A and B are shown apart, each in its own frame.
Chain A
Amino acid sequence: MRKFLLTLSSLFLLLMSGFAQKKMITGTVTDDKGLPVANATVQLKGTSTGTITATNGTYSLPVSVDKGTLVFSGINLEPKEESIADRSVIDVSLVVTANSLTEVVILGYQTVKKKEVTGSVSSVAGKEIAQKPIGNFTQLLQGKATGVQVTGQSGRPGANGYIRVRGTGSINASSEPLIILDGIPITSVAYSLLNPNDVEDISVLKDAASQAIYGSRAANGVIIISSRKGRGKPTLRYSFQYGKTNALDLQNIKLMNSQEKLQYEYEGNITNPILDTMISNRVANGTFPGGSNLFNISPSQRSDLWNLTASRAPKTWSNILLPEGRVRTHEVALSGSDDKFTYYFSLNSSKTDGVSYGSYWNKTGGRLNVEYKALDWFKLGTDLGVTHSKENNVRSLYNTQAAYTSLFIINPYEPVYLSDGTTYNVTHAGYSPLEGTDHNPSVLDRVSTFTTMYAEANFFKHLAFKTQIGINFNTLSQENYLQPGSNLAKILGYNQKTDAGNRDFVFVISNTATWKQTFAEKHSITILAGQEYTKDKFYSYSLAARGFPTASVNTQDNAGSAQTATTSRSDWALLSYFANVTYDYNKKYYLNVTGRRDGSSRFGANKRFANFWAVGGAWDIINENFFKSKILSTLKLKASIGTAGNVPLGLYDNLGTYALTTKYSDLPAAVPARLPNADLTWETNKNYDVGLDFGFFDDRLSGAADYYNRKTNNLIYPRNVSYTTGFTSFTSNIGNLENKGFEFSLNGDIIRGRDLTVNLFASYSHNDNKFLKLYSNNTPQTLSYFTEGQPSYTYFLNRWAGINPSNGKELYYTADGNLTETYSSSDAVLLKGKSPNVKWFGSFGTSISYKGLDLSAQFYYSGGNYIMNYIYQVGASEGENINDAQLTDAFNYWKKPGDIVRYANLNDLAQRKTFDTDKYLEKGDYITLRDVTIGYTTPKSIASKIKMKSLRFYVQGTNLWIGTKFHGLPEVGESNGETGLITPGLFNLFAQPQLRAVTFGVDVRF
């Protein structure tokens, strides 16, 4: 660093002093695609004279000699030397090196040149997921790779995304892909704590050939994340970001305002308690005659009452329950390398205030990645990351304790405070979510560490050994405080503090040996063999006590009496052996063979081990002598076939057990916990994939097309049993599922100018999901069904037939298709083809740069799925929830014979009831302007004057626009934070709303 600063300052000195005999050499540095290279180093060989290229690749270097050599170098570029030879303009084109980001793909246990990949792998560069103010990096993967479908869980700060690689292959909760950071598998809780800016690159392994090396864990794809490594000269980066977030507006529906709601209640013959009291008071003081009620006072009197009521309420409850959120991040990173030492060091902190009242998520972390090349043939290193986070876990459920739900419960005309102006009004719901959030905090405190340590030795020319130890250690401490004096404490009759938490220790040790050799210059062979052992140890505790004297003390030693104290423990282990052979002939024909044997503690002794395999091949047609084309620049055909596996989510699901955790009369009790299934066996995927990579005109137009088929056999899922057994299900292998589809992506560099570049991109992924076989065909699920030939979770609902125009009653179809006014649960039918599975998705957009300005825009679209829209049902409700806030849509009710409307006669009290029918089952199609970024990088001349390498400002907008026909918010992940997840998007039920954000950022490099 010091040397670097010295270099810089000497450079400035040189510039300032302005020697007379100086000769100015100028030029442009481009890469082998003709794109300008920024920040490339230009140096006069053997001297300290040098400079760095600007964003547009230009440089100018004053030299005092006519002869000499200039050395051009840059990150991931092959250095090049050019003799000055009396020239004053020297343009160079640098070749991108083999280990550069764009050309290398990290696969299981090894790195492979992109050109030699035989499988289907999507790469996402770190900058594509650089920090955005929504969710965590899993949500940021949305739209970044074909075949990788991501649904945001909710708008909670730090919420995960549900990632489905090539459809939902497993239907239990572990249908998430395996996520590996620097060689260690990490838990979904932990990856929300990763700093996206520390990510160098992400590979998504989508097909058998690339997955098989992960065997039993790869059934749902593998996401490999590598954290940043230092490269080149020391660089100090500082980034700052500030953003504002808002809950997305409901689409196509809106809540009634005070006047509308009062009108609706009036039409529904309801006098709410506020009006009732007002009228009683006016009767008491003689303003109204005795016997007055809402319906016999004059319209103007009524109107006055309504206006007065509305005037005492807040202008809009949504600003109170869902205030504007804020995001602030600071980050410093220092990185670099020399011959022996590579380092990357970063520190970051972020503060996020969520849009649900009282929610926040603050996080600080650091990372140190170092590698030391001790000897020519021996290196060792470590990648260390640690993050601390603290969040207020506000309630997210379907009742008035949750802020978002309350928006649909608390009437718009109800005041926030009582007349004293400070006490929260509990409203007609009997509870104030504001008071609850203030006085019943639930604070989650997490520390996650990610540690990888390795040593690698090349004893012989072609043979390398690597030993690696990985540890992912996560702790959580959760403190829930039902404070003395809080409303809920009064309702329950006690105050209580619960301290709960857990620690999860994942330990992986792996040893690999790699042999790489090329024979006769045409035959290249790589053999990888390895062994790996993974152990996870989980420990949890919970302590509760009551009788706290005051809210200001909250540790358990202040409590009046202890309530419960429990601990629990569980663990699992996996032992694996694997081997992989890759061969290529003259860079034309590639062959890749993989085998893996896994043993898992989650199965009974006779089902413990399973073998997985894959074969992949590629033909690089463009390298064939017979194939000469001026148009085509890339043409590669790939195909693979193989298997991968999955284990049950439960750790001991093969065992029938009695649990000892229940008590009766404060005495220990044994209760049947699980039905045994000694035959429970591995879920296996059999996949095949055919793909074509192509490029035209020097890859100015490039793309890829893939077709795949994934058959999941022996799906692991709870198998229903008759409830008369005292159980509802046991973990079993229930059948076979198929996902098949295709992926298509196009990328066009329309303009590759020195000052102007214009790029357009588009992608489309399609997936069809259906059961091929079910061992037991009668497998009803929540709102849905598993049936052969249909997608998983195909909806099973009663069918709504409209409102009877003659009498204003709801009409339904019977199972046989006849009309009836009686709802009967046995009239539910399978709604073929309608399931929550997303069928198609993709993105398109552009990135443009002109001199220092850059603009990028990305649209994301998704659809083909259906969603049970409970929020709409609760909000329109046919009068069932007339006492709560309602949607303006509810006005569309039957008033007179002949009306063709959506809702039943409001004044037929027997009709004030909603039932689950397809009336509220809606298509989930939408398109959103996911991201727009406008940036400006100051010219080098300005940056260098303030002693910077580069300086960039940007403004970024997220979800600025949505197009959908869905009523509400179409991106549905979890139903809410406290209803167990069945499958993402099956129904919505007031999860924290997804966000719109606008962010400003600065990025400075020294």
Chain B
Amino acid sequence: MKNIKYLIFLVALGFSSCQKSNLDLFPYNQIETSQAFNTQADVTLAINGMYAGLKTSGSYFVGGVWNIIADVLADNLIPNKTGPGRGSLLTYSEWRYTGQNTYGLFTGGYSIIRRANAILENIDNFEDGAFKDNAKGEALALRAMVYFDMSRVYGKTYENASASDLVLPYITSTDPSIEPSKIPVKDFYDLVIADLESAKTLIGTTNGIYRLNEPAVAALLSRVYLYKGDWAKCIAASNEALGTSPSIPNIATFPKIWIDDAGANASVFFKVRNTKLDNVNSQGVNYYQTVGGQKKSEFVATYDFAQLYTSDDIRTSTYIQQGTFNGQVYNNVIKYDGRPGDPAGVVDAKVIRTAEVLLNRAEAYYRSTDATSALADLVLLKSNRYAGYVPEMLSGTALLDEIYNQRRLELAFEGDRFWDLKRRNLPVVRDATDGDLANGGGIPFVFTSLPVGDYRFELPYPQEEVNFNANLTQNPGY
């Protein structure tokens, strides 16, 4: 009978585990997609998530290559081979990219676009009003902004494209089953413009510098219309962005832009924030790392380009600094040194500035035969850059050339040069004799010229996408 006692004990033990176990387990740090847009607070979280996408490593802004790639692909930067650097982005400098190289610019872009699309798909469930309009405006604008940058990477520009030239699919849904096709470049521009125009009427003005606002959207439109060659609309959008008295930072303010001093905020329409806690130093590391107290550059300003920066130009000391590494002197790019007190290279990504819009407008004025206004804008910029500047009287090609020259000097190392050459249908012509050292010595470029119309002006789509999605054909030549 003693057995019974043990039997009861064992059975009790057994039953204690037989209780209907709960197999309904959910993640602790995630929410189900269906529950992600219940309240306005949720929408705000999703908007923050959309902007956070801009920081993604390997893609565009803070964690990406946007602040260097347009210069590496063109004639502003030469790889440091005497040093030598780690060789990152050498593939781009040598125009030897293949379907294996541009992964981040493609996936990074579409990842942000999805975040915008999710907001747009859900926002109509909210009641009409300022919140809804602003959210919709931000999502449309950010999506268009990213699409436009992607189109500069992967497609021809509007003016150079024929009706049959294709560029990226313009995805506006979150459907995961799509295998979309490319669309004509011209249609793509129309969609970007439609989104931005629509966003401009919806978006608010108090989102702060780290998010898009109405003037920033107008500024983006100024850029897109410039690439489209729609001069009148470029001027109109620029006017809207700049207002009646453009806030062009003066010589004292200009350097503050690059250390994220709030005093220079008026000169920037939109920048992607990179906080001390985010601690993303990619923009700085893209250019150099400090080894033994010396800057070891990946890329340095080309000898001939560095000569264009004169000593009376505030940009010279703000952008370029000669420095010694291993006994050799280089033209190091110091635009992304970082904020005082924060780790090296941790700095916000300036997406669009007043100076660019001013240069857009100057070019558009010139092209629409208003040389007087064009000159006025040029003088406005230069008087805020050159110490003791005396307004010049330029006209004709000389005026246009100087606008282009100032564009190159102003927007160097900021995501402009290669796309601009492409827009203007110009080749990349590099100095074949001068090397990577500040005195022109050292190792020169091996690859010195990319002729007009070369297939390598359009970067290759990720080969994995092409292999998977038969509807998306690879760019010619790859």
Could you tell me which A residues sit within 8 Å of B by CB distance? 273, 276-277, 280, 377-378, 399, 426, 428, 430-431, 455, 457, 459, 465, 467, 487, 490-494, 509-511, 531, 533, 535, 563-564, 568-573, 575, 599-601, 605, 608, 651-652, 655-676, 720-728, 730, 778-780, 785, 796, 823-826, 828, 883, 909-910, 912-913, 915-916
Q: B6–A457 contact, CB under 8 A?
A: yes
Query: B22 to chain A: which residues have CB within 8 Å?
Result: 573
Residues of B near A721 (CB, < 8 A) are 176-177
**Given the contacts A457-B10, A467-B14, A671-B115, A722 and B468 also touching, CB distance less than 8 Å:** yes
Q: Are B277 and A493 in touch, CB under 8 angstroms? A: no
Give the distance to chain A from B207, nearest Cβ to Cβ, in Å: 11
Q: Which residues of A contact B42 (CB under 8 A)?
A: 670
Q: How far is the CB of A399 from chain B (nearest CB, A)?
A: 8
**Structural contact, B344 and A492, CB atoms closer than 8 A:** yes
Q: Which of A430, A575, A673, A910 is in CB contact (< 8 Å) with B23?
A: A575
Q: Chain B contacts of A666 at CB under 8 A?
A: 275, 277-278
Question: How far apart sit A276 and B437, CA to CA, in the bound complex (Å)?
Answer: 14
List 24 interface pairs A-B (beta carbons < 8 Å), by A numbering.
Answer: A378-B6, A399-B86, A457-B3, A465-B14, A491-B289, A511-B13, A533-B17, A568-B28, A572-B25, A599-B21, A600-B23, A601-B25, A655-B27, A663-B48, A663-B277, A669-B52, A671-B53, A726-B114, A727-B111, A779-B468, A825-B100, A910-B446, A913-B96, A916-B100
CB distance from B143 to the nearest CB of A (A): 11
> Given A563-B277, A824-B478: A665 and B292 within 8 A (CB)?
no
Chain A residue contacts of B462, Cβ below 8 A:
723
The A-contacting residues of B in range 14-66, CB under 8 angstroms, are 14, 16-18, 21-34, 36, 42, 45-46, 48-49, 51-53, 55
Interchain CB contact under 8 A, B23 and A601:
yes
Give the chain B neighbours of A493 by CB distance below 8 A: 290, 338, 343-345
Contact B291 A491 (CB under 8 A): yes
Given contacts A573-B25, A825-B478, contact A660 B52 (CB under 8 A): no
Does the CB pair A726–B27 fall under 8 Å?
no
A667, B3: Cα distance in complex, Å = 64
Q: Give residues of chain B (201-217) contacting chain A, Cβ–Cβ below 8 Å.
A: 210
Q: Chain B, 414-446, contact with A by CB distance < 8 Å: what is the 0/1 string?
A: 000000000000000000000000000000001
Partner of A778, one of B111, B281, B470: B470
Q: Does B273 contact A (CB under 8 A)?
A: yes
Given known A378-B6, A671-B115, A824-B478, contact A509–B17 (CB-CB < 8 A): yes
A660 touches B30 (CB 8 A): yes
> In the complex, what distance in Å separates the CA atom of A564 from the CA atom of B46?
22
**What is the CA–CA distance of A909 and B94 in the complex, to the nearest angstrom?**
11
- CB pair A778 B52 closer than 8 Å: no
- In the assembled complex, the CB of B122 is this many whole angstroms from the nearest CB of chain A, namely 11
Alpha-carbon gap, A509 to B18, bound state (A): 9
User: Known interface pairs A570-B28, A575-B21, A883-B84. Does A457 touch B7 (Cβ–Cβ under 8 Å)?
Assistant: yes
Across the interface, do B25 and A652 meet the contact criterion of CB distance under 8 Å?
Answer: yes
Across the interface, name the chain B residue whose C-beta is closest to A915. Answer: B98
Q: Is B309 an interface residue (CB 8 A)?
A: no
Please encode chain B, from 282 to 297, with 1 for each CB lying within 8 Å of some chain A CB and 0 for all others. 0000000111110010
Contact B210 A665 (CB under 8 A): yes
Tell me the complex Cα distance, A781–B150, Å. 24
A779 to B467, CA, bound (A): 8
Q: Give the chain B neighbours of A572 by CB distance below 8 A.
A: 25
Q: Distance in Å from the Cβ of A398 to the closest Cβ of chain B?
A: 11
**B33→A672 contact, CB < 8 A:** yes
Give me 20 other A-B pairs in contact (C-beta within 8 A), A457-B6, A660-B29, A664-B273 excluded.
A467-B13, A491-B290, A492-B281, A511-B13, A575-B23, A652-B27, A655-B30, A658-B33, A664-B48, A664-B51, A723-B462, A724-B171, A724-B178, A725-B175, A726-B111, A824-B477, A824-B478, A825-B99, A826-B463, A913-B96
Nearest 4 CB-CB pairings of A with B:
A726-B114, A825-B99, A669-B48, A670-B45
Give the docked Cα–Cα distance between A721 and B178 (Å).
8
CB nearest neighbor in B for A428? B84
Given contacts A608-B23, A883-B84, contact A722 B30 (CB under 8 A): no
B179 touches A (CB below 8 Å): yes
Q: Does B118 contact A (CB under 8 A)?
A: yes
* Chain A residue at smallest Cβ distance from B111: A726
Name the residue on B nearest A823 (C-beta): B98
Is A676 a contact of B33 with CB atoms below 8 Å? Answer: yes
Which residues of chain A are within 8 angstroms of B279 by Cβ–Cβ distance?
Answer: 563
Given A570-B27, A660-B45, A825-B460 in contact, is the A725-B467 Cβ separation under 8 Å?
Answer: no
Name the distance in Å between B58's Cβ and chain A's nearest Cβ: 13
Contact, CB under 8 Å: B25 / A571: yes
Max chain B Cβ within 10 angstroms of own Cβ: one of A493, A509, A570: A493
When chains A and B are docked, how far (Å) is the Cα of A573 from the Cα of B460? 46
Question: Contact between B29 and A490 (Cβ–Cβ < 8 Å)?
Answer: no
Chain A residues closer than 8 Å to B171, beta-carbon distance: 724-725
Residues in B whose Cβ lies below 8 Å from that of A725: 110, 114, 171, 174-176, 178
Asked if B472 is an interface residue, CB under 8 A from chain A, the answer is yes
Given contacts A664-B49, A667-B48, A825-B100, contact A657 B110 (CB under 8 A): no
> Which residues on A sit within 8 Å (CB–CB) of B113?
726
Q: Is the CB of A657 within 8 A of B290?
A: no
Q: Which residues of A contact B118 (CB under 8 A)?
A: 672
- A112 CA to B275 CA, complexed, in Å: 64
Query: What are the residues of chain B within 8 A of A825 when measuring CB–CB?
Result: 98-100, 460, 463, 478
B98 touches A722 (CB 8 A): no
With both beta carbons as reference points, the residue of chain B lying nearest to A776 in the complex is identified as B468
Q: Are A492 and B291 in contact, with the CB atoms below 8 A?
A: no
Residues A273 and B327 in contact in the complex (CB < 8 Å), given A511-B14, A664-B48, A670-B46: yes
Residue ID in chain B nearest A575 by CB atoms = B21
* Interface check B184, CB cutoff 8 A: no
Q: Closest chain A residue to B82 by CB distance? A: A273
CB distance from A966 to the nearest CB of B (A): 25
- Inter-chain CA distance A668–B30, complex, in Å, is 12
Least Cβ–Cβ distance between A185 and chain B, in angstroms: 16
0/1 per residue, B121-163, Cβ < 8 Å to A?
Answer: 0000000000000000000000000000000000000000000
**B149 → A minimal CB distance (Å):** 15
What distance in Å separates the Cβ of B101 from its nearest Cβ neighbour in chain A? 9
A670 near B36 with CB under 8 A, answer yes
In the complex, the chain A residue whose C-beta lies closest to that of B106 is A723
User: Closest residue of chain B to A492, judged by CB?
Assistant: B343
Let me know if B296 and A531 touch, CB within 8 A. Answer: no
Residue in contact with B463 in the complex, picked from A663, A669, A828, CB distance below 8 Å: A828
> In the bound complex, how far is the Cα of B326 from the Cα of A276, in angstroms?
10
Chain B nearest CB from A894 CB (Å) reads 18
Alpha-carbon distance A569/B26, docked complex (angstroms): 10
Chain A residues within an 8 Å CB radius of B290: 490-491, 493
List of A residues within 8 angstroms of B51 by Cβ: 664-665, 669
Chain A CB within 8 A of B263 CB: no
Interface centre among A575, A664, A728 (most CB of B within 10 A): A664
Known A665-B273, A724-B171; judge A569-B28 contact (CB<8 A). yes
Inter-chain contacts of B49 with A (CB < 8 A) = 658, 662, 664, 669-672
Residue of A nearest to B19 (CB): A533
Which residues from chain B contact A667 at a C-beta distance below 8 Å? 48
Q: Is B169 an interface residue (CB 8 A)?
A: yes
Q: Is B307 an interface residue (CB 8 A)?
A: no
From 261 to 284 in chain B, residues with beta carbon under 8 angstroms from any chain A beta carbon are: 273, 275, 277-279, 281
A487 smallest CB distance to B (angstroms): 8
Complex: A666 Cα to B447 Cα, angstroms: 43
CA distance A428 to B84 in the complex (A): 8
- Let me know if B107 is at the binding interface, CB within 8 A: yes
Q: CB-CB < 8 A to B111: which residues of A?
A: 726-727
Cα distance A665–B209 when bound, in Å? 11
User: Separation in Å of the A283 CB from the closest CB of chain B?
Assistant: 13
Least CB distance, A721 to chain B, in whole angstroms: 5
Confirm or deny: B474 has a beta carbon within 8 angstroms of a beta carbon on chain A. Answer: yes
Give the docked Cα–Cα distance between A828 and B474 (Å): 13
Query: Which A residues lie within 8 Å of B469 (CB)?
Result: 722, 724, 778
